[in-house]
Amino acid sequence: MKAAVATRYGLDALALRDVAKPMPKAGEVLVAVHAAAVGRTDCGFLAPHPALLGRLIFGWTRPGRPILGMDFAGTVEALGKGVSGFKPGDRVFGMLGWRALGAHAEYVCVREDAYIATMPQGLVFAEAVVGEGAFYAWNSLKALNVKAGDKILIYGASGAIGTAAVQLAKIFGAHVTAVAATKHMALMRALGAERAIDYTRDRFTRIGETFDGLLDAVGKTTYLRCRRLLKPGAVFAGTDMGPWGQTLLLTLWCWTTGSKRVTVAMPRPLPGFAQFLKQHLEAGDFRAVIDRRYPLDKIREAYEYVQTGQKTGIVVIDVRTE
């Protein structure tokens, strides 16, 4: 089968190669991949930052998983022993954990008890590779303890995590203020935000409101910049370390002092995550926001684009023509 393989760290090491087709073990489903996605996490595995910490976690000389890719959508081709929840021909989608990556290939094996579900009727494969952004968004909103009626501000609301967070916050019953660039204002309102603020024109930190929680979905702002936006006891959550590591350092300080004011939203297991996504994709209150699509043999170009930090929603890899 064809797969995008990284034999070492760095984009120049990524190449399309012929590799052995995997065979499903007991409890696994073999999926013929039709669509995958390239996200911020994939870029982090390919070029860890900070490099020393990333290499200690993922592998010293090369990624621990040479075939990357978290999100997948495709058809079930074969079943391992004991699988009862799927059958050959089922259209499925889901997300792989970072120890089980491999969606940037024509086939991937997925555990039946992992994040996998049958696809909603009428959805095309490219519209189902939404797991990574939604996963981090859900964990971030949990870190903010979002509940119905809360006022939430989402900074960087146009990326994969941001667009998912706007929609999930609405599903959870929150009132959303979304901060993004000029070209994304209409999209923010279409996704359900009650208010959309253009950070290129307005100083969002001086809008005269306070919020029950604030999510930095892109790691480009800081608690110190945004603290006047938070109600007493409200939390600032970041999706990574933040500029110059500020969010991580403040998180460590809060852990030391017993405060919960600042946190890096650590990904934690979400039981029922794939079924939750299926339910809301079917209901129409959650959808994919697709920026660009690339064929598998142009995956390096997809990585280059994602690394610019300017994508809107998700970048799809069409592994097979639909």
- Residues in Cβ contact with 260 at an 8 Å cutoff, skipping those fewer than 6 apart: 235, 254
Q: Quick: pLDDT tens for 139-161.
A: 999 999 999 999 999 999 999 99
Helix (H, G, I), strand (E, B) or coil at 215: strand
Q: Mean pLDDT for the chain? A: 93
Question: What percent helix, strand, coil does the chain show, rounded to 5?
Answer: 30, 30, 40
Confidence of residue 98 (pLDDT cuts 50, 70, 90): confident
Helices (H), the chain: 40-46, 51-58, 131-143, 160-171, 185-190, 223-226, 246-257, 273-283, 299-307
- Mean pLDDT of all residues in 112-137: 97
CATH placement of domain 132-264: 3.40.50.720
Distance in angstroms (rounded) separating the CA atoms of residues 148 and 183? 29
- Mean pLDDT of all residues in 172-192: 97
Q: Quick: pLDDT tens for 218-272.
A: 999 999 999 999 999 999 999 988 888 889 888 999 988 888 899 998 888 999 9
Confidence of residue 60 (pLDDT cuts 50, 70, 90): very low
Distance in angstroms (rounded) separating the CA atoms of residues 164 and 167? 5
71: pLDDT strictly greater than 90: yes
Segment among 35-39, 109-113, 213-217, 218-222 with least mean pLDDT = 218-222
50: pLDDT strictly greater than 70: no
- Which CA distances in Å does 278 have to 9, 86, 91, 94, 185? 34, 15, 12, 9, 27
The token duo for 243 is 């500029």
The token duo for 306 is 């994602």
What pLDDT is attached to residue 61?
A: 66
Q: Which helix (H) or strand (E) holds 153?
A: strand 151-155
CATH class of 2-130+289-318: alpha beta
What pLDDT is attached to residue 55?
A: 53
Beta strand pairing call for 107-111 and 28-38 = antiparallel
- Mean pLDDT of all residues in 116-122: 96
Confidence of residue 322 (pLDDT cuts 50, 70, 90): low
56: pLDDT strictly greater than 60: no
Higher pLDDT, 61 or 8: 8
Distance in angstroms (rounded) separating the CA atoms of residues 289 and 308? 18
The token duo for 38 is 């390239």
**pTM exceeds 0.85, yes or no:** yes
DSSP state of 20: P
Distance in angstroms (rounded) separating the CA atoms of residues 273 and 134? 9
Crossing angle of helices 131-143 and 273-283, in 10° steps, is 100
**Burial profile 127-143: b = 16 or more Cβ within 10 angstroms, e = fewer:** bbbbbbbbbbbbbbbeb
What pLDDT is attached to residue 59?
A: 56
Place of tokens 């926001």: 289
63: pLDDT strictly greater than 90: no
What pLDDT is attached to residue 44?
A: 85
What pLDDT is attached to residue 52?
A: 47
Domain boundaries, the chain: 2-130+289-318, 132-264
What pLDDT is attached to residue 49?
A: 62
Higher pLDDT, 209 or 8: 209
Confidence of residue 53 (pLDDT cuts 50, 70, 90): low
Higher pLDDT, 131 or 54: 131
Helix (H, G, I), strand (E, B) or coil at 148: coil
Beta strand pairing call for 290-295 and 115-118 = unpaired
What pLDDT is attached to residue 260?
A: 85
The answer to whether 153 and 212 are in contact (CB under 8 A) is no
- Residues in Cβ contact with 131 at an 8 Å cutoff, skipping those fewer than 6 apart: 70, 71, 93, 94, 95, 115, 273, 274, 277
